[in-house]
Amino acid sequence: MAKKCFLCDSDDGVIDFNDGTFKNCSLKLAFRKIKNFKYNVVELTCASLDFIGYHTTCYKKVTALNIKYNEEFENFSAENTVST
């Protein structure tokens, strides 16, 4: 079964998440949600990993944060360690 991209919903050339990329992506999405940034409505859960993957370009869109939020994100990720 072809997986779909978590962001653009296309199944063309989708890459599987691994532990690292999944944690990074879900943390960035959670951070975007509390900050009301773009993509703050995108849901990414462990349960959906059998059905979704990502494109490098889509992954970068979500995980790239303005450098001025780096410190705030560090604090946020320290407080919100995603357990799998």
For 28-34, the CB contacts below 8 A with 24+ separation are 28/62, 28/63, 28/65, 28/73, 29/62, 30/76, 30/80, 31/65, 31/69, 31/73, 31/76, 31/77, 32/62, 34/76
Which residue stretch of 8-16, 23-31, 32-40, 65-73 sits at the interface with Zn ion (rule: CB under 5 A)?
Answer: 8-16
Q: Which stretch binds Zn ion (CB under 5 A): 17-25, 37-45, 54-62, 76-84?
A: 54-62
By CB under 5 A, residue 58 contacts Zn ion? yes
Closest approach, Cβ 79 to Zn ion, in A, equals 29
Q: Which residues bind to Zn ion, rule: CB under 5 A?
A: 5, 7-8, 55, 58
